[in-house]
């Protein structure tokens, strides 16, 4: 099995019978399930949550329990979410590539 | 077995003032020993905001501040390491018309001291710095001021002084100070004896206790700056920011480091304790600061803070340091109590004190800071 | 006289049992927790709408999880419960809390800190790559989200959780590439006398190993992890096996961890004294046998202080609540026997010491990390930068090294680099680890929004 590439990081094993929720990640429409965290929703479609501020590459969370603070993502509107401890909500628009700061006006 | 340690000058206190004095004394070839109770630069010198700001200072302090500013640009060469000094400019803003008028008056006064300030209207300021809030009525921009990393500067001076032959003794708790016929005799807790004909007290908030022991009490109190820092975000707030106001609750200052974090402080001080050597960050003050941060730069409201800290600073009643020779004891010099605005001055204080100690006089006027003003 | 105000921080097994005893004594404690629901990390509940049974989530611990959840449910209405609330500062008799974007200052007569633990990590090259997660994260992905952290997972570390999570992944149908244990196989034999204090746990451990073996999962003991490979994401793990041979495992995810690290920031902010614990090689708050800290009114329970696991946390939570009642001059509720709780904890303490021998913390591996290894994930500070801080810049301990190099200065405040950083710093200076001290905690305990609304008086 070849590893790497652009596929998802996480793999869903169970609990498939939940209502769908739609969100956007870097402008792409992504379907998640109710009860997914933002981290789960994003990493079931890709392998990156954010870019390290210090040039050492992409990050995709680490502890999943709100301790390591390595999964803070931005919304298009410029708010911050800790992806591992925030449940998805319909219409959420996440950006993993650019940083919408400072928001002016 | 106690040994006797002799040098030309003893410096008590390894903050920025003491470490820089030791460094510049070595540049003049004077033998110097610095005794520091903890580690160099751990208190006021290491925990402060990191402002390399001249504008807004008491005007007669500008000659010293100007001398310091020249040194800031030379620090990488002098010290052999980078202390993250960036001449980004410093912008003071005003929210009230009368404060704009005061900034104009200050600009006129500062010109006589060679400090050129640019007064900018609110809209012009927002054209240049679009993240400023609509509440800003005007600003005063000091193009050659900036900021540096306070955690690095005093230790860098101490290391450079050591390389140049100074004796830097950390974890050295001085328990007795005596004036003898030929100078000073200090004893540290480990039983060592330290002697020199000249003693400089640069012990920060603790300096008052020593001055008092020499019969020169000063009205000094210890307080802690209330500092905090946000998570890192793209570098956008280039100048150091401050506010001109008469209301302590409106005071806020912030600077963004190139790595992205925004360091801030203001709206008041917390208690500091000379015996435990600890100062508190009051959570109530941290929360007050948030409103003032958003008031000046609304986009800071998008962020989270990740850390707060404080440290022990010494404040004199008239908000001026004690600097210069003792009024009573020959061979005794003071450089302490910089009232939360000593960081920018530090390199200049070191150079001026070294000049004063080595030559008996200095070209930089120190009159307003002489301890005799409290006699 | 107004009823005494008691706050419990943490709604895991320790906090739940503490609240239970306080309620039984007639008090109405305030229970504050960051999570949306009670249970802590170990008995974390799956979100509403998930349907797996407790057996699927907690395996052999399903009974205990059900019991703790049941106790908490029974307390509803008799406690105040603030979920999704961050206690970010504790000093001068007041707890600062952020709840729903609003600031609260809460005074108390007594406070029980049951703040739990995280994984203890050692950095290895590549551990910041997408696909590298903590062991706890691997378990949470499964328990709370019904997901595996990858399609082919390598588990790396040491300690019982390493085998437990690997076995849970196998059971859930995920592919486990291998289990890489840094502990040599011989270490477990040496630990047997102490670990015999809890024979049932030994049996459970053997069952896990058997399950992995039956599933064909290779288990390597005594490995030296060399690096996690991959540029934009994990593609494999390179390690040296116990014979010294360098090997590479293909995989797109790594779950890594070495036992637990106490979450002790609030105790630190409150001014509690800490001691270096040679067993877990970390600094822990000092408590008496019942959980009283060195600060009057502050009590500690659970993995935030004892690292005795979930069972021990339940005992410690009850004991701390009994201590609170005693110090308030209130009678203990019937049926809670302090002496029996203390005996139980003593037995668990022997087991904990055995675990530390069986699955030792590989401090020597950290000391030998290549200079370019990122140690501090938040600030991207390398082992080499830290070593320069320790030697050229003469930082004798971690706070000085933090000031000079920014290690531990970022968002997580040294949670995931503090212990490893102390190993690197002390090794670079040729001193024992405890000489490197510990990074002092600073408020806020976790990132606090500048947009927080102030409490209206």
Give the span between the Cα atoms of C360 and A87, in whole angstroms: 37
Question: Domain containing C126: what range?
Answer: 121-258
In this structure, what is the dihedral angle of CA atoms C341, C345, C347, C348, given to the nearest 10 degrees? 140
Mind listing the pLDDT tens digit for each residue in C208-232? 999 999 999 999 999 999 999 999 9
Q: Any CB–CB contact under 8 A between A55 and chain B?
A: no
Mind listing the pLDDT tens digit for each residue in C41-52? 999 999 999 999
Residues of C in contact with A66 (CB under 8 A): 34, 446
Residues C327 and C375 in one domain: no
pTM score, two decimals? Answer: 0.97
Judging by DSSP bridges, how do beta strands C152-158 and C253-258 pair with one another?
parallel
In this structure, what is the dihedral angle of CA atoms B152, B155, B160, B162, given to the nearest 10 degrees? -170
Backbone φ and ψ for C185, nearest 5 degrees, come out as: -60, -30
Task: Select from C355, C380, C404 the last residue of a domain.
Answer: C355
Residues C38 and C130 in one domain: no
Q: In the structure encoding, which two tokens stand for residue B81, read together?
A: 């390491």
Residues C33 and C144 in one domain: no
Which of A60, A63, A85 faces C134 most closely, judged by CB atoms?
A: A63
Residues C18 and C109 in one domain: yes
Which residues of B lie inside 8 Å of C (Cβ-Cβ)? 39, 46, 151-152, 155, 159, 230-231, 280-281, 283-284, 286-287, 290-291, 293-294, 300-309
3-state secondary structure of B142: strand
Q: Are A101 and B234 in contact (CB under 8 A)?
A: yes
Judging by DSSP bridges, how do beta strands B32-35 and B146-147 pair with one another?
unpaired
Task: Select from C258, C286, C302 the last residue of a domain.
Answer: C258
- CA triplet C303, C448, C261: central angle to 5 degrees? 20
Residues C91 and C107 in one domain: yes
Contacts with A, C 81-140, CB within 8 Å: 118-119, 128-134, 136-137, 140
Hey, of B231, B260, B298, B302, which one would you mutate to test binding to chain A, going by the most A CBs within 10 A of its CB? B302
Is C165 among the domain residues?
yes
Return the closest-CA partner of residue B155 out of C138, C84, C393, C257: C393
Judging by DSSP bridges, how do beta strands C80-82 and C30-32 pair with one another?
parallel
C51: how many CB neighbours lie within 10 A of its CB? 11
Contacts of B12 (CB under 8 A, 6+ apart): B18, B35, B174, B177, B186, B199, B200, B201, B202, B203, B210
- Write out the H or E segment, with its range, that includes residue B252: strand B252-256
Q: What is the DSSP letter of A37?
A: B
Radius of gyration of the CA atoms of chain A, in A: 14
The domain total for chain C is 3
Residues C288 and C375 in one domain: no
Hey, of C83, C119, C137, which one would you mutate to test binding to chain A, going by the most A CBs within 10 A of its CB? C137
pLDDT of residue C2: 82
Mean pLDDT of chain A: 94
Reply yes or no on whether the pLDDT at C403 is more than 90.
Answer: yes
Give the span between the Cα atoms of C451 and C457, in whole angstroms: 18
pLDDT of residue C455: 76
Is C457 among the domain residues?
no
Reply yes or no on whether the pLDDT at A3 is more than 70.
Answer: no
Q: What is the DSSP letter of C307?
A: -
Reply yes or no on whether the pLDDT at A103 is more than 90.
Answer: yes
Give the span between the Cα atoms of B338 and B341, in whole angstroms: 6
pLDDT of residue C304: 97
Taking an 8 Å cut-off on Cβ atoms, the answer to whether A72 and B231 are in contact is: yes
Query: Is residue C456 very low, low, confident or very high in pLDDT (cuts 50, 70, 90)?
Result: low
Return the closest-CA partner of residue C220 out of C136, C121, C154: C154
Q: Are B258 and B87 in contact (CB under 8 A)?
A: no
Mind listing the pLDDT tens digit for each residue in A24-62? 999 999 999 999 999 999 999 999 999 999 999 999 999
Q: DSSP string spanning C236-272?
A: EEEEE-TTS-EEEEE-SEEEEEESEEE--HHHHHTT-
Give how far Cα C242 sits from Cα of B237, C137, C224, C236, C257, Å.
53, 27, 8, 19, 19
3-state secondary structure of B329: coil
Query: Is residue C1 very low, low, confident or very high in pLDDT (cuts 50, 70, 90)?
Result: low
Q: Any CB–CB contact under 8 A between A63 and chain B?
A: no
Query: Which CATH code, of 3.40.50.11540, 3.40.50.970, 3.40.50.920, 3.10.20.440, is assigned to A20-95?
Result: 3.10.20.440
Radius of gyration of the CA atoms of chain B, in A: 21
Residues C86 and C205 in one domain: no
Is C444 among the domain residues?
no
- Beta-bridged to residue B194, according to DSSP, are B5, B186
Is C441 among the domain residues?
no
Task: Select from C300, C335, C355 the last residue of a domain.
Answer: C355
Taking an 8 Å cut-off on Cβ atoms, the answer to whether C233 and A60 are in contact is: yes
Taking an 8 Å cut-off on Cβ atoms, the answer to whether C234 and A3 are in contact is: yes
Taking an 8 Å cut-off on Cβ atoms, the answer to whether C446 and A69 are in contact is: yes
Give the span between the Cα atoms of C399 and B144, in whole angstroms: 32
Q: Which residue, chain included where needed, has tokens 């600097």?
A: B323
pLDDT averaged per 10 residues in sequence order, chain B, 375 residues: 82 98 98 98 96 98 98 98 97 97 97 98 98 98 98 98 98 97 96 97 98 98 98 98 96 98 97 95 97 98 98 97 98 98 98 98 98 96
Residues C344 and C373 in one domain: no
Reply yes or no on whether the pLDDT at C94 is more than 60.
Answer: yes
pLDDT of residue C457: 54
Residues C254 and C165 in one domain: yes
Contacts with C, A 30-49, CB within 8 Å: 34-37, 40, 43-44, 47-49
CB half-sphere exposure, C16, CA atoms < 13 A:
28
Hey, of A39, A43, A47, A62, which one would you mutate to test binding to chain C, going by the most C CBs within 10 A of its CB? A62
Which of C91, C396, C447 faces B231 most closely, judged by CB atoms?
A: C447
CB half-sphere exposure, A24, CA atoms < 13 A:
9
Instruction: Using the Cα atoms of residue C14, residue C19, residue C21 and residue C22 in order, give the sign of their dihedral.
Output: positive
- Write out the H or E segment, with its range, that includes residue A39: helix A38-43
Residues C411 and C343 in one domain: no
Mind listing the pLDDT tens digit for each residue in C324-334? 999 999 999 99
Q: Which residue, chain included where needed, has tokens 């998008």?
A: B302
- Give me the helices (H) in chain B, please: 16-27, 44-47, 62-79, 97-111, 122-128, 150-163, 207-213, 283-296, 346-359
Give the span between the Cα atoms of B103 and B124, in whole angstroms: 16
Give the whole-number percent of chain C exceeding pLDDT 90.
94
pLDDT of residue C381: 98
Mind listing the pLDDT tens digit for each residue in C98-138? 999 999 999 999 999 999 999 999 999 999 999 999 999 99
Mind listing the pLDDT tens digit for each residue in C128-180? 999 999 999 999 999 999 999 999 999 999 999 999 999 999 999 999 999 99
Is C451 among the domain residues?
no
Any idea what the CATH number is for the domain that residue C150 is in?
3.50.50.60
For residues B224-256, one letter each, b for 16 or more C-beta atoms within 10 angstroms of the residue's C-beta and e for the rest, the string is: bbbbbbbbbbeebbbbbbbbbbeeeebbbbbbb
Residues of B in contact with A53 (CB under 8 A): 232-233, 259-260
Rounded average pLDDT over C184-191: 92
């Amino acid at each position: 099995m070849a590893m790497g590439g652009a596929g998802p990081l996480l793999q869903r094993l169970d609990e498939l019978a939940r209502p769908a929720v739609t969100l956007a990640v870097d402008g792409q429409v992504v379907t998640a399930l109710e009860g997914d965290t933002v981290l789960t929703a994003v990493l079931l479609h890709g392998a990156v949550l954010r870019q390290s501020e210090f040039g050492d590459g992409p990050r995709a969370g680490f502890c999943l329990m709100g301790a390591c603070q390595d999964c803070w993502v931005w919304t298009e509107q410029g708010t911050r979410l800790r992806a591992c401890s925030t449940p998805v909500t319909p219409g959420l628009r996440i950006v993993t590539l650019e940083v919408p700061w400072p928001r002016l006006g | 077995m106690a040994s006797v340690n002799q040098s030309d000058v003893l410096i008590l206190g390894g903050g920025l003032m003491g470490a820089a004095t030791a460094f510049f004394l070595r540049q003049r070839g004077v033998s110097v020993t610095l005794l520091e109770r903890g580690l160099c630069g751990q208190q006021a010198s290491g925990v402060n905001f990191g402002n390399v700001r001249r504008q807004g200072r008491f005007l007669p302090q500008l000659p010293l501040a100007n001398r310091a500013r020249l040194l800031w640009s030379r620090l990488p060469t002098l010290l052999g390491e980078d202390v993250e000094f960036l001449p980004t400019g410093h912008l003071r803003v005003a929210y009230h018309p009368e404060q704009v008028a005061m900034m104009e008056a200050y600009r006129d006064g500062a010109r006589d001291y060679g400090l050129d300030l640019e007064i900018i209207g609110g809209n012009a300021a927002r054209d240049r710095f679009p993240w400023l809030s609509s509440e800003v009525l005007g600003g005063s921009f000091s193009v050659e001021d900036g900021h540096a990393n306070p955690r690095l500067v005093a230790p860098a001076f101490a290391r450079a002084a050591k390389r140049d032959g100074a004796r830097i003794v950390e974890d050295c708790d001085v328990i007795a100070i005596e004036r003898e016929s030929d100078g000073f005799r200090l004893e540290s807790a480990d039983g060592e004896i330290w002697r020199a004909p000249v003693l400089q007290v640069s012990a920060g908030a603790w300096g008052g206790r020593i001055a008092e022991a020499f019969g020169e009490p000063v009205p000094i109190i210890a307080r802690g700056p209330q500092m905090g820092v946000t998570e890192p975000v793209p570098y956008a707030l280039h100048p150091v920011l401050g506010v001109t106001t008469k209301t302590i609750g409106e005071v806020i200052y912030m600077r963004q480091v190139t790595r992205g974090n925004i360091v801030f402080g203001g709206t008041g001080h917390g208690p500091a304790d000379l015996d435990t050597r600890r100062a508190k960050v009051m959570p109530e003050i941290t929360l007050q600061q948030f409103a003032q941060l958003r008031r000046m730069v609304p986009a800071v409201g998008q962020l989270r803070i990740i850390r707060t800290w404080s440290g022990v600073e010494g404040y004199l009643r008239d908000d001026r340091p004690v600097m210069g020779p003792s009024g009573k004891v020959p061979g005794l010099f003071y450089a302490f109590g910089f009232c939360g605005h000593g960081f920018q001055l530090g390199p200049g204080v070191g150079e001026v004190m070294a000049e004063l100690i080595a030559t008996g006089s200095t070209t930089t006027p120190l009159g307003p800071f002489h301890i005799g003003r409290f006699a | 006289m107004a009823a005494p105000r008691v706050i419990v921080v943490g709604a895991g097994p320790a906090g739940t049992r503490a609240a239970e005893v306080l309620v039984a004594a007639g008090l109405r404690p305030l229970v504050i927790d960051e999570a949306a629901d009670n249970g802590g990390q170990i008995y974390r509940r799956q979100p509403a709408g998930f349907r797996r049974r407790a057996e699927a989530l907690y395996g052999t611990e399903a009974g205990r999880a059900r019991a703790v959840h049941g106790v908490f449910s029974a307390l509803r209405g008799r406690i105040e419960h603030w979920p999704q609330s961050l206690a970010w500062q504790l000093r001068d008799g007041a707890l600062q809390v952020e709840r729903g974007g609003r600031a609260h200052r809460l005074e108390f007569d007594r406070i029980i800190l049951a703040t739990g633990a995280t994984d203890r990590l050692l950095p290895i090259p590549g551990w910041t790559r997408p696909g590298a997660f903590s062991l706890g994260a691997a378990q949470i992905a499964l328990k709370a989200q019904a997901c595996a952290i990858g399609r082919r997972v390598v588990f790396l570390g040491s300690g019982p959780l390493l085998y437990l999570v690997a076995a849970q992944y196998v059971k859930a149908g995920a592919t486990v590439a291998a289990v890489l244990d840094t502990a040599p196989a011989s270490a477990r034999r040496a630990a047997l006398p102490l670990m015999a204090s809890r024979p049932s746990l030994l049996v459970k451990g053997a069952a896990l190993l058997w399950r992995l073996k039956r599933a064909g999962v290779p288990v390597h003991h005594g490995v030296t992890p060399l690096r996690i490979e991959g540029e934009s994401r994990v593609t494999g793990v390179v390690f040296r096996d116990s014979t010294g041979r360098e090997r590479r495992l293909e995989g797109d995810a790594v779950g890594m961890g070495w036992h637990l690290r106490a979450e002790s920031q609030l105790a630190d902010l409150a001014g509690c004294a800490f001691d270096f614990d040679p067993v877990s090689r970390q600094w822990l708050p000092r408590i008496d046998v019942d959980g009283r800290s060195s600060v009057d009114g502050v009590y500690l329970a659970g993995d935030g202080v004892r690292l005795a696991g979930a069972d021990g946390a339940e005992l410690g939570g009850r004991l701390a609540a009994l201590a609170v009642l005693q110090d308030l001059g209130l009678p203990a509720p019937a049926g809670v026997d302090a002496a029996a709780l203390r005996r139980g904890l003593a037995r668990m303490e022997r087991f904990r010491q055995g675990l530390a021998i069986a699955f030792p913390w590989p401090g020597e591996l950290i000391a030998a990390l290549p200079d370019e290894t990122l140690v501090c994930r938040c600030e991207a500070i390398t082992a080499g930068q830290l070593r320069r801080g320790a030697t050229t810049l003469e930082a004798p301990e971690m706070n000085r090294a933090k000031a000079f190099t920014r290690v531990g200065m970022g968002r997580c405040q040294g949670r995931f680099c503090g212990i490893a950083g102390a190993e690197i710093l002390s090794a670079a200076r040729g001193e024992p680890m405890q000489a490197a001290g510990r990074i002092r905690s600073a408020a806020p305990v976790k990132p606090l929004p500048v947009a927080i609304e102030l409490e209206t008086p």
